[in-house]
């Protein structure tokens, strides 16, 4: 029986849930977190004690308090390393991590790895989405949690999904209610999906609370409205919106956009159960189930890892929680389902390479994804297709899906400084990187 630790990457709800379950089973854990504190995006803490906390459900605060207390009680069984980034597995089955405080890359020999790195926020490209003043709603929410301050000036929140309501209510509570919330879908026309959501009263109550706050601040919630383009107007933005057959322009300082979340796009590494070092995914990086279910999914991954290591049988204790979350998320998806407007030729698609829809249209219709990468250079920039890959695949639905973000690993999976690499002295850990796809064209 090996005494090697299990490496858990990400100290959000899923990573903390997995680490605590492993530690309780007597397995040593190395828990890495790229930020300087635990919590992940959902439990992002203020940058200083003087920063006021943003509006959030009481159950989220209770959940985080329990996770933090569990981590403190675990003591030496969990080696927490903040400001540390997972770089990937090499050919000798070492896990390389980058300690950014000490600027040093270190090699670990873990018994297994659980990746709980969260999801990636989706934005469907439209003309002007790359302009200053346009940012994702999730990014704005993280800044609000860290600083306690809402963006200055008029703000418009647009896209699709429940995060729009949450962010808008948090902005209102912070003193700058948005001028409107624009939901592309038409949830009131899907009574079956609305009824299905009633099976999760805590989530419904959270949404009702957000809606009530927006109502008190007079913030319109407009359904069936889609952003078609954004243009700069001095220091402001003119946001063109299509609402049915009507067109309207909003003048604002900031546009916050959100089109849902995409699982499995953070590292590009897939699950591997039969290798020398088993790799499992947990939380929103595996499946979008929400913050509450992420803790349970972390425990599920821990139970499966214990079984793979011969330390017990995989437990089905959390399947009921995960099943309920899965049904709720399916109802949410049906509720807000609405295709985005087709982007016109001038729309930027690949920000890394500055490529637009017209650049994609210039390539032959039957071009393979390899040609799109090598000839068109889509997905060849620093993000390696993690952000533009899904958009390119959607614009070329009949092409090979290998460009999709979840199927494009890179080495390293996150950028690393030359200074950190220069201080890395273990020759055994400098062998060929272990990734799960052919990388000759990168």
Q: Are residues 100 and 198 in the same domain?
A: no
pLDDT of residue 405: 41
Q: Are residues 101 and 130 in the same domain?
A: no
Counting beta carbons within 10 angstroms of the beta carbon of residue 191, is it exposed (0 to 12), middle (13 to 18) or buried (19 or more)? exposed
**Dihedrals phi, psi of 175, to nearest 5 degrees:** 105, 5
32 within domain boundaries: yes
β-partners of residue 356 are 348
Nearest-angstrom CA–CA distance, 16 and 75: 14
Crossing angle (nearest 10°) for helices 137-147 and 163-173: 30
20 C-beta neighbours (distance < 10 Å), count: 26
Domain end position, chosen among 199, 228, 260: 260
Residue 182 contacts residue 156 (beta carbons within 8 Å): yes
Structure tokens that stand for 130 in this block: 């790359």
In angstroms, how far is CA 44 from the centroid of its own chain? Answer: 13
CA 317, 321, 327, 330 torsion: positive or negative? negative
Q: Are residues 96 and 29 in the same domain?
A: yes
Spatial CA neighbour of 86 closest among 351, 277, 344: 277
Q: Report the predicted TM-score, pTM, of the whole model to 2 decimal places.
A: 0.89
398 C-beta neighbours (distance < 10 Å), count: 7
pLDDT of residue 409: 58
Q: Are residues 240 and 366 in the same domain?
A: no
Spatial CA neighbour of 96 closest among 28, 14, 9: 9
| Residue 151, domain extent | 121-260
Q: Are residues 148 and 236 in the same domain?
A: yes
The sheet with strand 433-434 has its strands ordered as 104-108, 95-99, 84-90, 433-434
pLDDT of residue 400: 53
Nearest-angstrom CA–CA distance, 120 and 259: 11
Block means of pLDDT (10 residues each) for the chain, 442 residues, are: 86 96 95 94 85 87 94 93 92 89 91 93 94 95 91 96 96 96 94 90 93 97 96 96 94 96 76 91 93 94 94 76 93 91 93 91 78 83 78 74 49 81 59 40 36
DSSP string covering 31-45, please?
Answer: EEESSSSSSTTTTPP
Nearest-angstrom CA–CA distance, 277 and 108: 11
Query: Which of 127-138 are b and which e, b meaning 16 or more Cβ less than 10 Å from the residue's Cβ?
Result: bbbeeebbbbbb
Structure tokens that stand for 235 in this block: 């220091």
323 within domain boundaries: no
306 within domain boundaries: yes
In angstroms, how far is CA 177 from the centroid of its own chain? Answer: 25
Nearest-angstrom CA–CA distance, 144 and 176: 11
397 within domain boundaries: yes
187 within domain boundaries: yes
CATH classification of the domain holding 166: 3.50.50.60
End-to-end CA distance of the chain: 39
Q: Are residues 252 and 157 in the same domain?
A: yes
pLDDT of residue 434: 43
420 within domain boundaries: no
Q: Are residues 196 and 206 in the same domain?
A: yes
Residue 124 contacts residue 259 (beta carbons within 8 Å): yes
Residue 269 contacts residue 413 (beta carbons within 8 Å): yes
Helix (H) or strand (E) holding 140: helix 137-147
Q: Are residues 125 and 244 in the same domain?
A: yes
**Dihedrals phi, psi of 241, to nearest 5 degrees:** -130, 135
308 C-beta neighbours (distance < 10 Å), count: 15
Spatial CA neighbour of 202 closest among 324, 297, 333, 330: 324
366 within domain boundaries: yes
Strand ranges, E, within 130-253: 134-136, 155-159, 180-183, 221-223, 225-233, 236-243, 246-252
34 within domain boundaries: yes
pLDDT of residue 439: 37
Q: Are residues 61 and 137 in the same domain?
A: no
55 C-beta neighbours (distance < 10 Å), count: 15
Q: Are residues 114 and 127 in the same domain?
A: no
Q: Are residues 22 and 51 in the same domain?
A: yes
Q: Are residues 230 and 130 in the same domain?
A: yes
pLDDT of residue 413: 81
Q: How many domains does the chain have?
A: 3
């Amino acid at each position: 029986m090996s005494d090697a630790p299990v490496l858990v990457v990400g100290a959000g709800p899923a990573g903390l849930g997995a680490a605590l379950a492993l530690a309780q089973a007597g397995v040593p854990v190395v828990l890495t977190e790229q930020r300087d504190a635990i919590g992940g995006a959902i439990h992002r803490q203020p940058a200083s004690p003087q920063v006021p906390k943003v509006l959030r459900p009481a159950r989220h605060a209770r959940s985080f308090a329990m996770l933090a207390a569990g981590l403190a009680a675990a003591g030496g069984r969990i080696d927490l390393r903040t400001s540390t980034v997972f770089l990937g597995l090499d050919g000798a089955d070492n896990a390389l991590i980058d300690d950014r405080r000490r600027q040093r890359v270190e090699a670990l020999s873990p018994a297994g790895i659980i990746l709980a790195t969260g999801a990636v926020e989706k934005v469907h490209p439209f003309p002007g989405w790359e302009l200053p003043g346009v940012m994702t709603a999730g990014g704005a929410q993280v800044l609000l949690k860290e600083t306690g301050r809402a963006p200055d000036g008029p703000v418009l929140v647009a896209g699709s999904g429940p995060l729009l309501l949450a962010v808008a209510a948090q902005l209102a509570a912070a003193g700058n209610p948005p001028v409107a919330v624009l939901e592309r879908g038409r949830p009131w026309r899907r009574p079956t999906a609305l009824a299905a959501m009633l099976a999760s009263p805590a989530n419904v109550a959270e949404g009702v609370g957000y809606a009530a706050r927006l109502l008190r601040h007079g913030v319109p919630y407009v359904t069936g409205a889609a952003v078609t383009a954004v243009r700069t107007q001095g220091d402001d933005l003119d946001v063109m919106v299509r609402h049915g057959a009507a067109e309207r322009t909003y003048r604002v300082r900031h546009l916050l956009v959100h089109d849902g979340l995409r699982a499995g796009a953070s590292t590009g590494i897939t699950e591997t159960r039969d290798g020398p070092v088993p790799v499992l995914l947990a939380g929103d990086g595996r499946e979008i189930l929400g913050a509450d279910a992420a803790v349970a999914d972390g425990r599920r991954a821990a139970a499966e890892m214990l079984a793979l290591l011969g330390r017990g049988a995989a437990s089905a204790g959390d399947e009921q929680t995960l099943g309920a979350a899965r049904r709720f998320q399916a109802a949410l998806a049906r509720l807000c389902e609405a295709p985005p407007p087709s982007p016109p030729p001038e729309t930027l698609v690949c920000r890394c390479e500055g490529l637009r829809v017209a650049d994609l249209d210039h390539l032959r219709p039957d071009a393979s994804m390899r040609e799109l990468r090598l000839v068109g250079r889509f997905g060849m920039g620093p993000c390696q297709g993690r952000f533009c890959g899904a958009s390119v695949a959607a614009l070329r639905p009949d092409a090979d899906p290998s460009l999709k973000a979840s199927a494009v690993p890179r080495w390293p999976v996150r950028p690393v400084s030359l200074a950190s690499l220069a201080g890395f002295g273990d020759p055994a850990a400098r062998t060929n990187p272990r990734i799960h796809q052919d990388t000759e064209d990168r």
